[in-house]
Amino acid sequence: MVGKTAPEWTLKDVNNKSVSLKDLKRKILLIKFTGIGCGRCHASLPFTKRLVEDYHIKDFEIISIETWSSDIDYFKSYADKNRLNYKYLISTEEIKKELSGQ
């Protein structure tokens, strides 16, 4: 998806609060597509959290979009258990279809 403009979307975070792409005003925005059941995604958590800590004073933000699960309770538990320090959002079916090229 390098070089593509991200579509406008509004997704829910772990607290069921709406977050829109247009509301994220950082100069650099890293969008990480992930899956709760993905081993490599889970293994990347320490690195992702460290990026947030290392660049917190820069104009940089990371958001993660969950593409596997839509169970809000499981989603929140996972984010809390792993002490995520960045926005973690639940994908929609439309985004999942776009990612898969359908």
47 occurs within a structural domain: yes
* Tally of structural domains, the chain: 1
- Inside any domain, residue 60: yes
Residue 77: per-residue pLDDT: 93
Token pair of 95 as six digits: 């985004």
Using CA atoms, how far apart are residues 84 and 78, in angstroms rounded to an integer? 9
pTM, two decimals, is 0.83
Collapsing DSSP to helix, strand or coil, 45 comes out as helix
Q: Which domain holds residue 70?
A: 10-100
Dump pLDDT digits (tens) for 38-79.
999 999 999 999 999 998 877 888 999 998 888 888 889 999
| 26 part of a folded domain | yes
- Contact assessment for residue 23 and residue 29, using Cβ atoms and an 8 Å cutoff: no
pLDDT at 13 over 60: yes
- The CATH number of whichever domain residue 86 belongs to comes to 3.40.30.10
Asked, for residue 5, whether it belongs to a domain, the answer is: no
Query: Does some domain include residue 84?
Result: yes
Which strands, in side-by-side order, build the sheet including 10-13? Answer: 18-20, 10-13, 87-90, 60-66, 28-34
Tell whether 72 is covered by a domain.
yes
Residue 36 burial (CB count, 10 A): 17
